Structure 1
Amino acid sequence: MNEEKIQHYGDALYEAWLARRTIPPLLEQEPDITLDDAYRIQRRYVARRVQAGETIVGKKIGVTSKPVQDFLGVFQPDFGQLTSGMVYQEGDTLPLDTLIQPKAEAELAFVLKEDLQGPGVTAMDVIRATDYVVPCFEIVDSRITDWNIRIQDTVADNASCGVYVLGKTKGDPRKLDITLAGMVLEKNGELFSTGVGAAVQGSPANAVAWLANTLGELGIPFKAGEVILSGSQSALVPVADGDELVCTVGGLGSCRVKFAGRSAV
């Protein structure tokens, strides 16, 4: 795909995000789009957000667990960039009127104390470079109509990044078994789903190592202070005005988020 088309689709996704509307799947518009094309489009889309004043604060791994893969019909991991405009803290009420067609997923966030760059990064390297982990929610959101996506669509759309909410309870991954720690997700006081760290590429640390190595091949490092979202341990949760979600990770603690307002779809 030539650079003119890359910029066109990156700009289209940025403008859709800005206007809170969707566009048709890119695969319908460009049947020959490759994964490399999609990542180039993602870079253009994210660059537009940075040009508008946001900064890169981390990375996310997407489509790592079977429930999310089954829902989306996407069967390999992808990644996106986290920006300063996406960050919420536990206790904040999340305004749905800033989103289009949001769904929530519960996962573990890694906050780094050291730079980390692949290739050659192992799960143990990830643990050593991590300052702490926290339970979190990622609120994924697609600029593609009706979530009708394949891997090229979600990659171009910055891995369907919406916003994320970090819990307040910090854990030391050298003392917490993040692979076997169970996760319980409740919606409005009722059990919604359960999960375990091993559901994410065998361990959340494995997923983060995969991302460090994948980005390393592109010359992109992890930086100290960045947040790395390691991939969903839950099924995707539809959210609406008044909903409250709580995810609890065994041995670590909980993250709670409330939603208010109405999304575009």
Structure 2
Amino acid sequence: MATLAGCATDGADSTYLGPFIAAEHAATPFDPITASRPTADFASAYRIQQRYVRHRLRAGDTVAGYKGGLMSHASLKARNVAEPLVAVLFGSGRADDGATISLCGYRKASFELKLGYLLPSSSADRSRGVMVLPVIDLPDIAYRDPDHYNAIDMVAANVSTARYVRGAMRDADRVDLDGVRVSLTRDGQPIASGLSAESLGGQRRSLDTVLTLARRTGRDARPGDLIVTGKIGDRGWLLPGRYSANYGPLGMVRFTVVACAVRPAVAS
């Protein structure tokens, strides 16, 4: 695949991106790109994703890393594509163990249990010194019809990236990365579980895949970037409550989700 960085943009890109950003600011659903551009391809979708990232950076955000999308054989088959997707994680989306997450700004909040990796400071051998940590991805599935969208739509929408909760780091060489069993409860009730090996090809291969996909879009991951692999278990909808994720040898991650309190309008 050719590098997409620096590709020329066109008016059709702006026709989609402007309303997409406006819907994000207004916390309203948006139409996927293929609704207005049925011939859109992955090259144009990644170009739009890059323009969106530049918009976020101009607004003062930072790139915190990258995450994979469609990182299972079942997900690839369901979307009729041959390889996974990649999206940018933003610094503003980070939350840590014990955080309180507000649903303000979300359209259709969801959760996915994942593993993340922090790259070592040395670029000479990225297979050594990698740290692994629990990551609960909290994307915003904000399409006007959240049941009908395709992989090109996902890329153009930056794979619905929003918030994510990080747990404590461990040395990846000291953990059976494909043997981590993960479970999640909300208010004490089990709601999701899975095995880390579910990520496409295993965790090591998944990590390499996300790094390769990011590089193809013109971005080389930097030391300290967070690289998030595929989901573990099923995705679920994020509701208010107290969440507790058990990552076995990687420890616990706890966070609380609260509803968005909308202040009633004051009569003039």
TM range (shorter): 0.7 to 0.9
CA contact (8 A) 2:20 2:30 kept: yes
2:59 paired with 1:52: yes
1:97 aligns with 2:80: no
Give CA deviations for 1:181-228 in whole Å, capped at 9, x if unaligned.
211222221222321121001222211101212222343211011111
Q: TM-score, normalised by structure 1?
A: 0.87
Counterpart residue number, 2:157: 157
Q: CA 1:209–1:156 in structure 2 vs 1: closer, same or farther (change >3 Å)?
A: same
User: 1:245 maps to which residue?
Assistant: 243
User: How many percent of aligned residue pairs carry the same amino acid?
Assistant: 23
Tell whether 2:29 aligns with 1:22.
Answer: yes
Distance (whole Å) between structure 2 residues aligned to residue 246 and residue 219 of structure 1: 37
Point out which structure has higher relative CO (alpha carbons under 8 A, 6+ apart).
1
Give how far 1:255 is off.
1.2
Report the RMSD for the aligned CA atoms in angstroms: 2.4
- How many Å separate the matches in 2 of 1:194 and 1:48? 36
Superposition TM-score, scaled by structure 2 size = 0.86
Unmatched tracts of structure 1, length 5 or more: 118-124
Contact 2:24 2:105 in 1 (8 A): no
Per-residue CA deviation, residues 206-255 of structure 1 (Å, 9 max, x unaligned), is 111012122223432110111111121121111222x2222222211111
Distance 1:263 1:162, change over 3 A: farther
Distance 2:45 2:153 in 1: 7
Deviation per CA, 1:97-143, whole angstroms, max 9, x where unpaired? 121111011111111223659xxxxxxx654252x211121101133
Q: Larger Cα Rg: Structure 1 or Structure 2? A: 2
State the distance in 2 between where 1:161 and 1:68 align. 17
The unaligned stretches of length 5 or more in structure 2 are 1-7, 263-268
SS at match of 1:80: strand
Match of 2:182 in 1: 183
> Does the 8 Å contact 1:13/1:45 carry over to 2?
no
What's the counterpart of residue 50 of structure 2?
A: 43
Number of residue pairs aligned between Structure 1 and Structure 2? 253
Question: Helix, strand or coil for the counterpart of 1:174?
Answer: helix
